[in-house]
Amino acid sequence: MGYVAIKGGGRAIEGSHAAVEALRTAEGDAGAPLSLSAIEHQLRLLTSRVVSEGGLYHPRLAALAIKQMQGDTLEAAFALRAYRSTKPRLLEMPVQDTSKMRLIRRISSAFKDIPGGQMLGPTYDYALRLMRLDLADESPEAFRSVASRFMQQRPGADLPDTFPKVLDALRADGLLPPLATRAQDAFDITREPLVFPVPRSAALATMARAETGSLLAIAYSNMRGYGDVHPTIAELRVGYLPVMLPHPVTGELIEAGEVLMTECEVVAMYESDDNDGPPVFTLGYGACFGHNEVKAIAMAILDRALQKGMRDGPSNPSEDPEFVLLHVDGVDSMGFASHYKMPHYVTFQSDMDRLRTTQSKATQSTVTATQGVKA
């Protein structure tokens, strides 16, 4: 593509930046500027989405990006990912054990009774999608009293922080394949390009950082008939995962902190099974930073679909690794769509020249043909 420099555009660009800031800070009845703490906690699901799509677990910086980009999740994820690229990599963490998550929510649609019990936790799943007009004039006193009342009334102070995995019970019954040993290091999508075919770890890492809507749309195409995955959620977990890192001196694993994440494991079946052993359920796995259940579920469905595509060959777009993995990154797709706003003067002038030449030739041919008929 050919681009040309914009002469005299510096002042216009500065004015554009000033207009953005003016719109962000125009008071009206908006009041004080948003604090990062308010964004991080009151808009926690938005912060979770940006943390996940930005590929950097830093809720406070995600809140800053949301504030700076005025709520545009794609731009905020772009800013967060750009910030991450400026930081050095200090070490690679070992495989983390998600069974150690300190859970705030844990459900299964496969069984009513699961080891440890269902834990509904914070969710809109069981509430009517009706506008709460009382929030339009919420008083500071009422706002502050909500959390304190909940802490006073919440039952089950003796509940454990962690629960056994539902998949462990299925595997013990012989309904799942045995756990695979880790044969190779995880693919690093931040340092290595995707050259197909890619290992499953590359697909999972790409989808974990993918844009939520993109994942959902492609997974939905599979659920609606362009595929065969009709999974059951064995377990959906939301909680805080302890991050275990090796001690710099002793090498012993120690807890360096924790990250909020969502994990989903689905079970489904292949159309056929060519293994020598008995038929078993197949698995799909999804996990992402923050509290984002739709993304984790969509990711698990696509993981299962991609496994089938790699096994039997893709029969639809959702089973094609190249189609899925090259089109779900929000920052990448947003950048490509936005680049069309940049000057394309040279290429468009060339298009117009070719069109005019073609029109001229077509007109001349018509004239010649008409003269031949009259003669």
| Per-residue model confidence (pLDDT) at position 2 | 43
Q: What is the pTM of this model?
A: 0.90
Give the largest CA-CA distance in the chain: 102
Q: Which long-range contacts (CB under 8 A, 24 or more apart) does 24-30 make?
A: 24/70
Is-contact 311 317, C-beta < 8 A? no
Residue 218's CB is within 10 A of a number of other CB atoms, namely: 25
Is-contact 187 279, C-beta < 8 A? no
DSSP string, 192-218: S---SS--HHHHHHHHHTS-HHHHHHH
DSSP string, 236-302: EEEEEEEEEEE-TTT--EEEEEEEEEEEEEEEE--S----SS----EEEEEEEESS-HHHHHHHHHH
Cβ-based burial of 189 (10 A; exposed 0-12, middle 13-18, buried ≥19): buried
Q: Which residues contact 273 (CB under 8 A, 6 or more apart)?
A: 279, 280
Cα–Cα distances in Å, from 97 out to 199, 233, 255? 21, 20, 12
Can you tell me the distance from the alpha carbon of 212 to that of 46, in angstroms, rounded to the nearest whole number? 11
Q: Which residues are 106's β-sheet partners?
A: 119, 237
Q: Which residues contact 41 (CB under 8 A, 6 or more apart)?
A: none
| Per-residue model confidence (pLDDT) at position 4 | 47
| Dihedral pair phi/psi, residue 249, rounded to 5° | -105, -55
Cβ-based burial of 247 (10 A; exposed 0-12, middle 13-18, buried ≥19): exposed
Where is 105: in which H helix or E strand? strand 102-107
Helix, strand, or coil (residue 345): helix
| Per-residue model confidence (pLDDT) at position 340 | 92
* Residue type (1 letter), 161: D
Can you tell me the distance from the alpha carbon of 104 to that of 163, in angstroms, rounded to the nearest whole number? 11
Q: With DSSP H G I counted as helix, E B as strand and the rest as coil, what are the percentages for the chain, rounded to 5?
A: 45, 10, 40
* Residue type (1 letter), 88: P
Where is 148: in which H helix or E strand? helix 140-153
pLDDT in tens, the chain (375 residues): 444 455 557 888 899 989 998 888 876 555 688 999 999 999 999 999 999 999 999 999 999 999 999 999 999 999 999 999 999 988 888 889 999 999 999 999 999 999 889 999 999 999 999 999 999 988 888 888 888 888 777 665 567 778 899 999 889 888 888 887 666 788 999 999 999 999 999 999 999 999 999 999 999 999 888 776 688 999 999 999 999 999 989 989 999 999 999 999 999 976 555 556 788 899 999 999 999 999 999 999 999 999 989 988 999 999 999 999 999 999 999 999 999 998 888 999 999 999 999 999 999 988 888 777 665
Is-contact 233 266, C-beta < 8 A? yes
Is-contact 234 77, C-beta < 8 A? no
Can you tell me the distance from the alpha carbon of 93 to that of 243, in angstroms, rounded to the nearest whole number? 8
Q: Which residues contact 54 (CB under 8 A, 6 or more apart)?
A: 62, 65, 76, 77, 78, 79, 80, 81, 84, 209
Q: What is the dihedral of CA 298, 301, 303, 304, to 10 degrees?
A: 180
Sheet strands side by side (includes 102-107) = 102-107, 232-246, 253-268, 282-289
